[in-house]
Amino acid sequence: MATLAQWVEGARPRTLPAALAPVLLGTACAFALGGGHIGRAMLALVVALALQVGVNYANDYSDGVRGTDEVRSGPVRLVGQGLAPARHVKLAAFACFGVAALAGLVLVALCGAWWLLLVGAAAVVAAWYYTGGRRPYGYLGLGEIFVFVFFGLVATVGTTYTQALTTTPASWATATGVGLLSCAILMANNIRDIPTDRPAGKRTLAVRLGDPLARRTYVGMLGGAFLACAIAAMQHPGALLGLAAIPLALGPARGVLGGAGGRDLISVLGGTGRLTLAYAVAVSLGVVLLPSLP
């Protein structure tokens, strides 16, 4: 029977900044529009966190029952390491999806944008079929698309819309930036798993690109995020404060380009998560505190 600490590690806490960051950015853009709402922001945060943890447990379950995680150098895998029954991990995943759905329903009811229920349903379906089902798209190298769309564009722009009932070019630009950082978190994870994913038939983007190009792609994602905050600054000059997070990108970038592998990439994963959160905090403060251009 898995311990509480193992269940917590199985939730992959290093990935949670990818859920918090877009809510921060989306809320900042809403406040810049004069429509910020803390209560709705908290509901959006519950949706994002529950969906992220649900995805992590769903991946643990699906990879575990397929045997993909039989040999690992990364964090705890509850099913793959035989720490918890597969059905319990599957139940945990669906419980998280249920929490996300309930919080999302309340949020949609408060803002009145009922069409967002379709977006929420698509997010849950995409979360499960990332590694679940007969032909999981995560095994086809499409995982980054899911992450960019749902943990970048949808989470950020959706947060802004549920509060201000509109969006801005800056909200789309910041959504692009945080989406790229979330993809970088996934890429760092998948670079580490190339040696085990390839023989297991898991053709992630990192496997398809090959180790050298995957590492350069990771660094390109980091650079793209900072370019996105510069684009957001065309509407909100304060978004340039996000460039203050560049020093936090240097360590992970050096580690990846320097050939870090195995458990050494776990620190890169954590560093990328911290970078994502710092980036979101810095850009959000800049957007809220400095006036926008006319």
pLDDT of residue 174: 96
Measured between alpha carbons, how far apart are the two ends of the chain, in Å?
A: 59
pLDDT of residue 199: 87
Task: With a cut of 70, list the residues of the chain below it in pLDDT.
Answer: 69-74, 291-294
**Averaged confidence pLDDT in the chain:** 92
* Tokens, residue 282: 């810095």
pLDDT of residue 193: 87
| Burial (Cβ within 10 Å: 0-12, 13-18, ≥19) of residue 118 | exposed
